[in-house]
A and B are shown apart, each in its own frame.
Chain A
Amino acid sequence: MTGSSYRVFGIPMELQTARRKLVVGVYAVLFMFCVGSIVFARTAPIGYSWTIYATMAAAMLVFGGVGGLGSRYGLIKPFPNKPPRQEPVMVDAIRLQLAPMTAGTPDESSWRNDERELSRRDRAHYRAYPVVAGAFPVVLLLAEVGLKVAQGSLQLAWLTTTTLLQSIFSVALLETVLAMTLPAAIILWNEPDIDLG
C-alpha cells in the first residue's frame, strides 16, 4: 500500500511498529490542536482552522491516500487509483530529444493500486465509516438536549447551552479530523512489515 517512498521525514516506515508509532504521534499532535482550538475558542475563534490545516498536512504529506495535490506525497498510494497530474517536461530535454515520450508520466507502480491494495482500501473505509458516521447521532443528541435546555423544558444545574454548544463544536472538530485521516491511519496500522528483500 506504500507509495514511492517508505520514509517519512527520513524515518524508515517498513516496520509495522514504526508505522503505528507514526499514527499515534500524528493523532497526538492533531488532538493537541483540537484541544487548543476548543480551549481558545472564545479568545481565538479562528483557531479551529489551524486544526483543519494541520489535518490536511498530515493527510497529504504523512499518511497519503489523498488524490489530487496530495497524490505525490505520503506513505499510501492515492485512493482514487488515478495517475497524478503530469509534471511539465523540461523544454530543452524535449528539443534535444533526450527525454522519451514518457518523461513526464509518473511511474505506474507509484500510484496504481493492485487488487490486494484496493481490497485493503475498501475494507479500511468500511471500518472508518461507522466511526465517522457515529459522530452525527452524538451531535444530534447534544443539539436536541441543547434545544430543551434553551427552551427551559430541561433544567440541569451543571448543563448550560454554552457547554452544549462547545461540546457540539468539539465533536464536529474531532469528526472532521477523523473523516480526513482515519482510513489511511487504519491501513498504516494494519499493514504488516514490508520486506524489501
Chain B
Amino acid sequence: MIEQTRFLGMPLKTQRQRRLLVVLYYAVLVGFGLTGLWIGKGAWGSLVAQTFVFGGLLGGIKLGGPVKAYAYPHFPLDTDTSLRSLNLAGRKPFDTSLPEAWVPLDEREEMQRDIAHYTAYRILRWSFGVLVLAYFVGTGLAPVWLADKTLLLLWLFLLYVLSLPQAVVLWTEPQGPAEEMAEVPATGR
C-alpha cells in the first residue's frame, strides 16, 4: 500500500517515519490555517483550486503520493476514442510506462484500503460532530469572526477529510522485519 520509501526528501521506510510524515502533514495544515486566519481572506486565492493539491498530497486519491492510488485515474482522453486518436487537445496521452503509472491494488492492499476507510469514517463522524458543536459554540461567542473565517475553516476541514484515509494507512501500516532491521543502526540498538 505504501508506494514510496522516500517522499519530499523524507524517508518512509519505518513505521515511525511514516507516522512522522502524518504528524508533519497535519502540523503544516494547522500552520496553513493559522497563517490564513492571520493574513486574511485576500491572500487565500481560490481555495477550491488548491484543494486537491494539498488534499491529495499523501496519495490515495491521486498519483504521486506515498500511498498507492486507490483506483485508476480516469482522464477525459484516456480511452481509445476518435477524439484521442486525432489528439484534438494536443496533449500527451496517458503513458502507462511512466513511473507514476497505476498498478491495480492486490487483495491485501484492497483490504488495507477498506479497513483504512472504515477507520477514517469513524474518525470523520466524531470530527464532524465536534465541528458542528464548535460551530454552534462559536456562533454564540464570536459570530462576526466566525462568519469572516468560515470559508477557510471549511477548507481546512475539507483537506482533513480528503487526507484522512491516507493518513490512517500511513499510521497503521505495520512494521515489517526488514524495516526493523533498517531501524537498528538509526536507534543504536
In the bound complex, how far is the Cα of B157 from the Cα of A119, in angstroms?
28
CA distance A183 to B113 in the complex (A): 15
User: Are B125 and A144 in contact, with the CB atoms below 8 A?
Assistant: no
Q: B150 in the interface, Cβ–Cβ < 8 Å?
A: yes
Encode contact with A along B143-163: 1 for CB under 8 Å, 0 otherwise: 000000011001101100110
Q: Which of B70, B118, B124, B158 is A140 in contact with, Cβ under 8 Å?
A: B158
Interface of A, secondary structure class, is helix
| CA distance in complex: A176, B125 (Å) | 9
Bound-state Cα–Cα, A185 to B158, Å: 24
Which listed residue (B51, B113, B124, B158) contacts A132, Cβ 8 A? B124
Known: A122-B115, A136-B157, A140-B155. A183 touches B121 (CB 8 A): yes
Q: Is the CB of A144 within 8 A of B161?
A: no
Q: In the complex the two chains form, what is the Cα distance from A143 to B152 in whole Å?
A: 10
A125 with B121, Cβ < 8 A, contacts A119-B114, A141-B48 known: yes
Q: Chain A 122-143 against B: per-residue CB contact (8 Å), 1 yes, 0 no?
A: 1101101100110011011101
A137 x B121 contact (CB < 8 A): no
Asked if B46 is at the interface of the complex by the 8 Å CB criterion, the answer is yes
**Which residue in A128, A144, A180 is a CB contact (below 8 Å) of B48?**
A144
Enumerate chain A residues within 8 angstroms of B155, measured Cβ to Cβ: 140
> In the complex, A136→B70 CA distance in Å?
20
Considering only residues 15-74 of chain B, those with a C-beta below 8 Å from chain A are 41, 46-48, 51, 70
The reply to whether the CB of B128 lies closer than 8 angstroms to some CB of chain A is yes
Chain B residues with Cβ under 8 A from A136's Cβ?
Answer: 154, 157-158, 161
Q: How far is the CA of A37 from the CA of B144 in the complex (A)?
A: 26
Knowing A136-B154, A140-B48, A143-B150, say if A122 contacts B162 (CB, 8 Å).
Answer: no
Q: Closest CB-CB distance, B78 to chain A, in whole Å?
A: 19
How many A residues touch B, CB cutoff 8 Å?
Answer: 23
Q: Is the interface of B mostly helix, strand, loop or mixed?
A: helix
In the assembly, what is the distance between CA of A140 and CA of B156, in Å? Answer: 10
Contact A132 B118 (CB under 8 A): no
Indicate if the CB atoms of A137 and B118 lie closer than 8 Å: no
Which residues does chain A contribute within 8 Å of B128, judged by CB atoms? 176, 179
Query: Is B134 interfacial (CB-CB < 8 Å)?
Result: no
Answer whether residue A194 sits at the interface, using C-beta atoms and an 8 A cutoff.
Answer: no
B115 touches A140 (CB 8 A): no
**For the complex, is A147 an interface residue (Cβ under 8 Å from B)?**
yes
Q: Is the CB of B48 within 8 A of A129?
A: no
User: A168 vs B120: C-alpha distance in the bound complex, in angstroms?
Assistant: 24
A139 CA / B120 CA spacing, docked (Å)? 20
Shortest CB-to-CB span from A77 to chain B, Å, is 14
Complex contacts, A179 vs chain B, CB 8 Å: 124-125, 128
B84 within 8 Å of A (CB atoms): no
User: Does chain A have a CB within 8 A of B13?
Assistant: no
Q: Which 10 A-B pairs have the closest CB atoms?
A: A122-B114, A126-B117, A125-B118, A136-B158, A122-B118, A125-B121, A126-B114, A133-B161, A129-B117, A125-B117
Question: Can you give 22 contacting A-B residue pairs, CB < 8 Å?
Answer: A79-B118, A122-B111, A122-B115, A122-B117, A125-B114, A126-B118, A129-B117, A129-B120, A129-B121, A133-B124, A133-B161, A136-B157, A136-B161, A139-B154, A140-B47, A140-B158, A141-B48, A144-B46, A144-B47, A144-B48, A176-B128, A180-B125
Q: A122-B114, A136-B157, A144-B151 are in contact. List 17 more A-B contacts (CB 8 A).
A: A119-B111, A122-B111, A125-B114, A125-B120, A126-B113, A132-B121, A133-B161, A136-B161, A137-B51, A139-B154, A140-B48, A140-B151, A140-B158, A141-B48, A143-B151, A144-B47, A179-B128
